Structure 1
Amino acid sequence: MKNLGYLLMVSATLSFSCGGSSEQSAETVEVEVEENEWVELFDGTSFDGWKKYGGGEVGNAWKIKDGTLYLDAANKENWEQGDAGDIVTVDEFENFHFQLEWKIAENGNSGIIFLVHESEEYSYPWMTGLEMQVLDNDGHPDAKIRTHRAGDLYDLIESSEETVKPIGEWNLAEIIVNQGELQLHLNGVMVVSTSLWTPEWEEMVANSKFKDMPGFGKYRKGKIALQDHGDEVWFRNIRVKEL
């Protein structure tokens, strides 16, 4: 990732002795500090930087219109083999801050899956990656299950509070992974916070639906996936910053 340089003004107080008396002089020192910049993962017009999970170009079921990337599930009766499927970033990320906006159709279900390890060994991103749930809480039956509602760390940790907006409205989702610490934010509120790869984490996974998936939650660097769950879903303003 590229770095963005900026100047930090530091006020330094220098003390020195002169002729037996003490004087103090203050001067301002300019120090150049490097800060990672946001990198756009979706340019609003193309699928550059994205691919179909498992190989190949993004399928025709995924569309782009007015700066928005969406799954055209309203026309899925016209899908042909290979049109649909989960999509993933070409690049992998380890310590990062990821952001996007999403909205979901009535009764819809999708997800943002991260730390995804793509290989022939795993047929789907969710076999390795963790998921921030995208859901119509009011209409989809999955919402009846704790840890399956919008903003939850899917099947592992439920949100501390519900901040999701009604269907058809945009939600700001943020995923922060840094040195084994995970935070999920939804609409400006931190709704999940946990430590990864600890004994407590392993126990939590062992008590989840992922218990029989040996690759789940094991990879400390991976891709980010947008899930095709067969429902209409829209994404925009997708970006990431390395930490």
Structure 2
Amino acid sequence: MNYLRFSANVPALRPTLAIGFLALTLTLNVNPVSAASVPAPHTPAAVQPEHLLKKGKWETLFDGKTLKGWHIYLKEGQPVSDKWTIDDGAIHLASGGAGDLVTDKEYGNFELEVEWKIAEGGNSGIIFHVHEDPKFKATYQTGPEMQVLDNERHPDAKQGRDGNRTAGSLYDLQKPVTPGAAKPAGEWNKARLVINNGKAEQYLNGKKTAEYPTSGPEWDKMVAESKFKGWEGFGKYATGHIALQDHGNKVWYRNIRIREL
């Protein structure tokens, strides 16, 4: 009896089942889903792990004997001032008034390593993405600077905001991520600068001292709150020369090498 009752109700359900089955069939035919149609996850190049970055070969920027590959800013093809000398395998600024020393070649994305030593009370800097143009009278008018300084004796260390003019900092733009990384005047410091796809990192003696974008809203805000506010060309160039600053004080640079990323 129960079987007969169930069978008698089947015809009444058939139209609904048929319609449902048809709708399901159309859905599967119109919108097929397969593994091939699902996009693979994408990791932007700017945040790729360091070991996955495509790196070039290390290139020596200073042979320890000559200033081949360098020139004074805005004086390419002219003899380098005798105030920039070679001292025991290091580039040495013996006295001020020489002008900033810049690489002949320009660089965009790169990893730079250099050792520096500053005299007591001294000031200098490593400046990057320098645009060489007569309308800009100095390298720092276009290029951001990794500060080189005697923190104990030079007044710049106490100026600016929160130590953003101390050794290893992004000069006047960002306070050190790790304060106190610099060694005293007269001792060698090892600096490392990495610029890659709009992001920069600075290291001093193995400690990260700065991390920042090189363009975009965050960078623009940093510039607007610094001494560089309103400067026409500052930080506007994605490629440029690397400069060693003549700030009038004795400074030494050695073991300079770079590789493009």
What whole-Å deviation, never above 9, does each CA across 1:141-180 have from its counterpart, x for those lacking one?
Answer: 1110231100010000111222100111100011100000
AA aligned to 2:58 is: W
AA aligned to 1:154 is: Y
Q: Of 111, 123, 130, which aligns to 1:97?
A: 111
AA aligned to 2:74 is: G
Give the alignment of 1:170-209 within 5 angstroms: 170-209=188-227
AA aligned to 1:137 is: N
Give the alignment of 1:147-158 within 5 angstroms: 147-158=164-175
Give the alignment of 1:220-239 within 5 angstroms: 220-239=238-257
2:201 and 2:155 mapped to 1: Cα distance?
26
Secondary structure, aligned partner of 1:101: strand
Q: Of 131, 134, 155, which aligns to 1:117?
A: 131
2:222 and 2:157 mapped to 1: Cα distance?
20
What whole-Å deviation, never above 9, does each CA across 1:40-85 have from its counterpart, x for those lacking one?
Answer: 0000111100000011332111000221101002xx6xxxxxx611
How far apart are residue 35 of structure 1 and its match? 5.0
**More divergent stretch after superposition (154-163 vs 106-115):** 154-163
State the partner residue of 1:11: none
- 1:57 has 2:74 as partner: no
State the partner residue of 2:147: 133
How far apart are residue 203 of structure 1 and its match? 1.4
CA 153–35 in structure 1, closer or farther in 2 if over 3 Å, else same: closer
1:183 and 1:114 mapped to 2: Cα distance?
13
AA aligned to 1:160 is: V
Secondary structure, aligned partner of 2:252: strand
Identity %: 50
Secondary structure, aligned partner of 1:138: coil
TM-score (norm: length of structure 2)? 0.75
2:55–2:259: 8 Å Cα contact kept in structure 1?
A: no
1:192 and 1:129 mapped to 2: Cα distance?
16
How far apart are residue 195 of structure 1 and its match? 1.2
2:65 and 2:80 mapped to 1: Cα distance?
13
Secondary structure, aligned partner of 1:200: helix
The structure carrying a bigger helix percent of its residues is 2
* Divergent runs of 4+, >4 A: none
How far apart are residue 198 of structure 1 and its match? 1.2
2:87 and 2:249 mapped to 1: Cα distance?
17
What whole-Å deviation, never above 9, does each CA across 1:190-240 have from its counterpart, x for those lacking one?
Answer: 111111211111111011111121100000000000000010000000110
AA aligned to 1:68 is: A
Gaps of 5+ in 1: 1-33, 77-82
Q: Of 133, 150, 159, which aligns to 2:176?
A: 159
Secondary structure, aligned partner of 1:237: strand
How far apart are residue 37 of structure 1 and its match? 1.3
Q: Number of aligned residue pairs: give it.
A: 202
